[in-house]
């Protein structure tokens, strides 16, 4: 490693920021692609990567209205876990978790995936019963999960107030030890670089404004820079799903809400896991820089402003101070919001749409970051074959007609 003196550091900070190799090209769009993906968030980029890598389909464009990774992908609090209750969803999230475990090697890009464990705290009898049911269901599905009592929680999370005199005493917790965090923007960049290297065109600053159809079949997208033809189109636009689906001529049971997060000033390492509480309603982890990364639930009203409202911030920091009184004087540095697309059963929608050759992947709500590799992997297969991947089948739009919902409000962990 090269070492610099104080002066050397100063000098090189001016001299070394030039002639860097570009991570991806800036291509002019072709007239027509085999697949056009709308939305260069983690899910859209992962879809493009697996289309090229797994299915050999490289004549692919990802079209992004802003900059890639500028949506929820780089606004989330980076929690990755697969401890969902029901067979259909735990299978999908576990598929993703297995891909996370090799992702840095696969992309040759360090996404800083850290399996530091994720605790869900129990503060009342119902929480304990839910945790017991979740742990049992996960184990039956081959997903290790553990139930801890108060003493074990206190030992493993030393700064958590586990005394019996608190307003919401800690009665126990479930812990998924393979869960953790990853660096969110690195996930977007890693997928983007790898997809570009396989020939995928990443087209930024280009907004899809509509869909061109012929006899009810989509044949391409209208953009603010002109028409781009496509044999198949995948729509992966998270909080913008409702308005864009309307442009394609159909409605979805999706509501878009702001979801906020906060980070504190950096402090010495005191939290080496992810800790979530549904009842007190806040969650926390600590980044490698030392910031506390904090969040809670959605703003309850529909909105498209990427900021959110003050009462949620107040409620969130109150919850954290309740659980970790030691943090009550730590200052918050920054706050932001993303727009999450929620569905009635807190599960995604993946598959076909009423428009032939237009496919959709949306509705990940507050919990899609953890799914990024799995979502991209199954959506790529869906686009390549023209029919849902087996893991995606339970998440079709039809479930809102048949009533076969996959209700994951409990495991979604963040209220919505
Ligand atoms: P996005 O990253 O939002 O990508 C969609 C892209 O589509 C955007 O870049 C957007 O600009 C683009 N787009 C939209 N409309 C158009 C158009 N017309 N034309 C072209 N492009 C368009 N999940 C977890 O699993 N763990 C967490 O800890 C977690 N924490 C969160 C905390 C916050 C504050 C927020 C907001 C979300 C959190 N989530 C979490 C949820 C997670 O971030 C999302 O579910 C996930 O990132 C969705 O990824 P995506 O690629 O579908 O969407
Ligand atoms: O899905 O684990 C999650 C989550 C945590 C914070 C936001 N989403």
CA of 224 relative to ligand 1 center, distance in Å? 22
CA of 163 relative to ligand 1 center, distance in Å? 38
Residue carrying structure tokens 């009810």? 216
CA nearest ligand 2 atom 5, residue: 79
Give the integer Cα–Cα distance in Å for 327 and 305. Answer: 29
pLDDT tens digits for range 9-44: 666 666 666 778 899 999 999 999 999 999 999 999
Burial degree of 1 (CB within 10 A; 0-12, 13-18, 19+): exposed
pLDDT tens digits for range 154-200: 999 999 999 999 999 999 999 999 999 999 999 999 999 999 999 99
Mean pLDDT of 84-104: 98
CA of 330 relative to ligand 2 center, distance in Å? 22
| Helix orientation angle between 184-197 and 42-55, rounded to the nearest 10 degrees | 30
Higher pLDDT, 91 or 6: 91
Are the C-beta atoms of 51 and 384 separated by less than 8 Å?
A: yes
Q: Residue 114 carries which DSSP code? A: B
CA of 282 relative to ligand 1 center, distance in Å? 20
Kindly state if the Cβ of 413 falls inside 6 Å of ligand 2.
yes
CA of 14 relative to ligand 2 center, distance in Å? 39
Q: What is the pLDDT of residue 21?
A: 84
Are the C-beta atoms of 108 and 49 separated by less than 8 Å?
A: no
Kindly state if the Cβ of 295 falls inside 6 Å of ligand 1.
yes
Predicted TM-score of the model (pTM): 0.96
pLDDT tens digits for range 245-296: 999 999 999 999 999 999 999 999 999 999 999 999 999 999 999 999 999 8
For the chain, percent of residues with pLDDT exceeding 70: 95
Q: Is 196 helix (H, G, I), strand (E, B) or coil?
A: helix
Helix then strand count (H, E) for the chain reads: 11, 18
Ligand 1 pocket test, pick from 230, 239, 368, 377 with the greatest ligand atom count within 8 Å of Cβ, gives 368
CA nearest ligand 1 atom 6, residue: 39
Choose among 338, 301, 304: nearest CA to 42. Answer: 338
């Amino acid at each position: 490693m090269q070492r610099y003196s104080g002066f050397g550091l100063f000098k090189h900070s001016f001299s070394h920021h030039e002639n860097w190799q570009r991570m991806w090209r800036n291509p002019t769009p072709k007239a027509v692609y085999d697949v056009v993906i709308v939305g260069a968030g983690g899910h859209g980029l992962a879809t493009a990567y697996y289309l090229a890598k797994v299915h050999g389909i490289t004549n692919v464009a990802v079209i992004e209205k802003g900059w890639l990774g500028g949506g929820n992908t780089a606004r989330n609090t980076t929690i990755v876990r697969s401890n969902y209750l029901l067979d259909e969803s735990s299978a999908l999230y576990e598929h993703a978790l297995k891909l996370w475990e090799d992702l840095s090697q696969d992309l040759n890009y360090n996404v800083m995936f850290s399996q530091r464990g994720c605790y869900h705290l129990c503060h009342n009898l119902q929480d304990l019963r839910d945790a017991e049911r979740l742990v049992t269901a996960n184990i039956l599905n081959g997903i290790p999960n553990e139930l801890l009592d108060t003493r074990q929680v206190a030992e493993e999370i030393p700064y958590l107030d586990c005394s019996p005199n608190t307003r919401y005493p800690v009665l126990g917790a479930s812990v998924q030890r393979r869960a953790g965090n990853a660096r969110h923007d690195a996930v977007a960049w890693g997928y983007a670089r790898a997809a570009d290297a396989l020939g995928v065109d990443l087209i930024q600053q280009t907004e899809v404004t509509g869909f061109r159809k012929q006899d009810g079949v989509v044949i391409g997208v209208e953009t603010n820079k002109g028409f781009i033809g496509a044999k198949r189109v995948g729509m992966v636009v998270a909080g913008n799903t409702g308005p864009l689906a309307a442009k394609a001529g159909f409605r979805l049971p999706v509501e878009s809400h702001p979801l906020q997060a906060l980070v504190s000033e950096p402090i010495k390492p005191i939290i080496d896991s992810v800790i979530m509480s549904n009842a007190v309603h806040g969650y926390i982890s600590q980044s490698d820089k030392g910031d506390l990364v904090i969040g809670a639930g959605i703003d309850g009203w529909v909105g498209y402003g990427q900021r959110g409202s003050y009462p949620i911030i107040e409620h969130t920091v109150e919850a954290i101070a309740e659980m970790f009184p030691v943090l009550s004087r730590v200052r918050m540095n920054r706050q932001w919001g993303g727009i999450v697309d929620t569905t009635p059963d807190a599960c995604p929608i993946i598959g076909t749409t009423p428009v032939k050759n237009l496919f959709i992947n949306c509705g990940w709500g507050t919990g899609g970051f953890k799914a990024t590799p799995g979502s991209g992997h199954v959506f790529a297969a869906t686009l390549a074959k023209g029919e849902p991947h087996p893991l995606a089948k339970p998440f079709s739009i039809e479930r809102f007609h048949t009533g076969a919902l996959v209700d994951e409000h409990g495991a979604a962990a963040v209220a919505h």
